[in-house]
Homo-oligomer: A and B are copies of this chain.
């Protein structure tokens, strides 16, 4: 099974990005050195520069790849049979897909970078807008949302959902590393259900206490 040059080249890029993800999550964009990344990838420093113009380009490529991953999650959420399941997919994507909790640290760093790097900010805004539009649409055509909108438009509901998701992700980086992915996931699901109940469930439920 011979690989084309393009394929091997893409493999190398992916290999470097995988290593970069580990290093960035562990030390942050600007604390992780190109030597760290090369060591993690098991290649030489110089080789990175054959595939990426500079460190900035590695960061941008990481952000780009993250964008694609988010779009995948969104697509899966869109196809889920119920609104609750859609939300569960959105809220737990970062607990299991990849290794431990590297993803949360990476995303927080991405936002920190976006605060001072216009190009990254643009990209993150774009991802966020696409995702928001998708969720707004899911909500708008969901029967659950019809009779329980609390005076909020689907767009406003989506905004709240994303705010909570980001907030939980931020909280995630404070958690001691001993927490397993499963535990993180369980906590995320709890919060998701509460939010869902709040937004979309009419008071057919027994009141608390």
Interface residues of A (CB under 8 A from B): 25-28, 30-31, 104-105, 108-109, 111-116, 121, 124-125, 128, 149-153, 156, 159-160, 162-168, 170-171, 173-174, 191, 194-195, 197-199, 203, 205-209
Since A108-B108, A163-B167, A165-B167 are in contact, a sample of 13 more A-B pairs with Cβ atoms closer than 8 Å, ordered by chain A residue number, is: A27-B116, A28-B113, A104-B115, A105-B116, A108-B111, A109-B115, A150-B203, A151-B205, A151-B208, A152-B198, A159-B191, A160-B191, A163-B171
The A interface is mostly helix, strand or loop, or mixed, namely helix
Taking CB atoms, residues of chain B closer than 8 Å to A116 are 26-28, 31, 105
A175 smallest CB distance to B (angstroms)? 9
Find out whether the CB atom of A173 lies under 8 angstroms from the CB atom of B114: yes
> Considering only CB atoms, which chain B residue lies closest to A172 in the complex?
B115
Taking CB atoms, residues of chain B closer than 8 Å to A113 are 28
> Considering only CB atoms, which chain B residue lies closest to A164 in the complex?
B163
**Which of B108, B149, B156, B165 interacts with A207 by CB under 8 Å?**
B149
Assuming A160-B195, A166-B166, is B108 touching A112 (CB within 8 A)?
yes
User: A86 CA to B199 CA in the complex, in Å?
Assistant: 22
User: A164 CA to B30 CA in the complex, in Å?
Assistant: 28
Find out whether the CB atom of B124 lies under 8 angstroms from the CB atom of A194: no
